[in-house]
């Protein structure tokens, strides 16, 4: 039985928000039915079996504006993101860039400092303390990428008014400024171009993948202290090299992170501070057909991240392993990150609307959004799932996947409070629908010495953890 999204279905809910109108309304009517979600089995669903690990050799080149060496000046080195692809659709060339610096502030205390020349002197100033937020919080700068929980917007680009197959209400730029740090979405290859489409582009077409990435590129440029993850759903199971052109043409190639190992285990990831200093701030994963021998910066999802049952219809949201199937539990617990699917779905019968050949489809259960996305511990609520997963696996999920992230209770954007609690911090942004950053401004000229000292401290702390 085919599962397809729908252009317009009858449903209406209202949630309260001080920032945006969160009313959702769709036309026509439908009947909710009980059915099971198809499993990801078949010859097209190929999961990598991890039997060992290889070390990646990365070529480093000096950027256009940094050649000085030394502890204070710092040589700004950028990794060349490479691919075996020679895609004729690539219309731009990658460029070099300088490192981002993380400036810190000092506080007065009695301490001893050591200069670069080797001399020791007594000073009333301790080492600089980082005050610049990485992904919104200074505490994250020294924390490993793999040791942070993030909100993931399910099918991030699927923002279509009056379309019940949509998964979000606010566009990607709003999502990023509100605090979403994983974008995810279903993609399809149409006329040699990658599109954001839900099942078929005739049903919901959210534009090209490149257009989405161009928005991301602009946001990264304006927010130099942010690290973002993009999870690609390769729904047509096409060769990974089809994705090189949109990534390159969008300008994101300069930002892509290439791991030091294939696969890279959880304790081998760098800190956010290290990734920001090197300006390698975008991590790509792909569910099927990733091949790091061809495209080293698109990582295979399931050898790095396992996930709970996908497209859940069970409001209990079990925190068991859904994909990849038959994953060794010890490997899942000790070596991999994990993703919690907390987007509640409902199956609907659209035969009376679109014809008997369409079959049954899954759409977000929007009637339950206030409860599903709630910062609470009742059955079906977001904080309850994170708490249960933490208890089961000894650590919270790295990514919490949600529909309509801006709707929830007791307030709009409640999922951010859920994730902040998992991280041991407090979410203080105004949500939702903001288009300005709460991050620190870009460093000014003349602060390089203090900035590099602070950066060195951050990296030193990170390496000692």
- Give catalytic residues, as residue numbers: 154, 198
Q: Does residue 85 sit in helix, strand or coil?
A: coil
Q: Which two tokens stand for residue 208?
A: 């090209």
**What is the Cα–Cα distance from 453 to 73, expressed in whole angstroms?**
10
Per DSSP, helices labelled H in 156-208 are 172-178
Tell me if 205 sits within 8 A of 162, measured CB to CB: no
Separate counts of helices (H) and strands (E) for the chain? 10, 23
Q: Does residue 319 sit in helix, strand or coil?
A: coil
Residue 286 burial (C-beta neighbours within 10 Å; 0-12, 13-18, 19+):
buried
**What is the Cα–Cα distance from 96 to 445, expressed in whole angstroms?**
20
Per DSSP, helices labelled H in 129-285 are 172-178, 209-222, 244-249, 272-277
Please spell the DSSP secondary structure of 285-307, one letter per residue: EESSS--TTT-TTEEEGGGTEEE
**What is the Cα–Cα distance from 200 to 358, expressed in whole angstroms?**
12
Please spell the DSSP secondary structure of 338-365, one letter per residue: EEEE---EEEEE-HHHH-TTT-EEEEE-
Q: Which two tokens stand for residue 8?
A: 């317009």
Please spell the DSSP secondary structure of 392-428, one letter per residue: HHSS--SEEEESSTT--SSSTTHHHHHHHHHHTS---
**What is the Cα–Cα distance from 104 to 101, expressed in whole angstroms?**
10
DSSP E strands in 62-175: the ranges are 78-79, 104-105, 108-114, 120-125, 129-130, 150-153
CA distances from 156 to 94, 152, 193, 344, 403 (A): 26, 8, 19, 16, 9
**What is the Cα–Cα distance from 306 to 322, expressed in whole angstroms?**
8
**What is the Cα–Cα distance from 422 to 66, expressed in whole angstroms?**
39
Phi, psi of 276 (to 5 degrees): -70, -40
Tell me if 132 sits within 8 A of 104, measured CB to CB: yes
Tell me if 279 sits within 8 A of 251, measured CB to CB: no
């Amino acid at each position: 039985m085919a599962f397809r999204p729908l252009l317009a279905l009858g449903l209406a809910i209202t949630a309260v928000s001080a920032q945006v109108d969160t009313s959702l309304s769709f036309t026509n009517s439908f009947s909710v039915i009980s059915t099971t979600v198809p499993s990801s089995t078949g010859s097209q669903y190929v999961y990598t079996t991890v039997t060992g690990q290889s070390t990646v050799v990365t070529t480093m080149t000096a950027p256009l504006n940094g050649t000085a060496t030394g502890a204070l000046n710092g040589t700004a080195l950028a990794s060349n993101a490479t691919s075996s692809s020679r895609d004729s659709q690539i219309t731009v060339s990658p460029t070099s860039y300088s490192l981002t610096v993380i400036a810190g502030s000092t506080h007065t205390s009695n301490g001893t400092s050591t200069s670069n020349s080797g001399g020791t002197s007594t000073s009333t100033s301790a080492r600089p303390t980082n005050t610049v937020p990485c992904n919104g919080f200074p505490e994250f700068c020294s924390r490993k990428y793999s040791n942070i929980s993030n909100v993931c917007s399910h099918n991030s680009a699927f923002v279509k008014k009056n379309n019940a197959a949509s998964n979000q209400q606010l566009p990607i730029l709003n999502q990023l400024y509100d605090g979403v740090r994983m974008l995810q979405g279903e993609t399809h290859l149409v006329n040699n171009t990658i599109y954001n489409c839900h099942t078929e582009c005739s049903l919901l077409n959210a534009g090209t993948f490149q257009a989405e990435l161009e928005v991301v590129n602009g946001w990264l440029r304006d927010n130099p202290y942010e690290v973002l993850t993009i999870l690609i759903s390769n729904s047509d199971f096409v060769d990974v090299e089809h994705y090189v052109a949109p990534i390159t043409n969008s300008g994101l190639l300069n930002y892509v992170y290439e791991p030091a190992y294939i696969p890279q285990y959880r304790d081998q990831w760098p800190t956010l501070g290290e990734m920001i200093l090197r300006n390698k701030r975008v991590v790509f994963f792909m569910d099927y057909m990733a091949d790091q021998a061809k495209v080293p910066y698109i990582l295979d999802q399931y050898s790095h991240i396992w996930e709970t049952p996908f497209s859940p219809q069970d409001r209990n949201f079990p925190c068991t392993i859904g994909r990849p199937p038959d994953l060794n539990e010890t490997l899942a617990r000790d070596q991999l990150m994990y993703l919690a699917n907390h987007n509640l779905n409902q199956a609907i019968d659209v035969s009376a609307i679109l014809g008997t050949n369409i079959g049954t489809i899954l759409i977000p259960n929007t009637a339950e959004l206030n409860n599903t996305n709630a910062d609470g511990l009742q059955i079906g609520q977001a904080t309850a799932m994170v708490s249960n997963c933490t208890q089961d696996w000894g650590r919270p999920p790295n990514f919490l996947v949600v529909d309509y992230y801006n709707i929830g209770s007791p307030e709009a954007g409640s999922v951010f409070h859920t994730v902040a609690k998992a991280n041991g911090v407090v979410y203080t942004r105004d949500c939702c629908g903001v288009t300005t950053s709460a991050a620190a401004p870009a460093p000014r000229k003349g602060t390089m010495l203090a900035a590099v000292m602070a950066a060195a401290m951050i990296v030193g702390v990170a390496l000692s953890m």
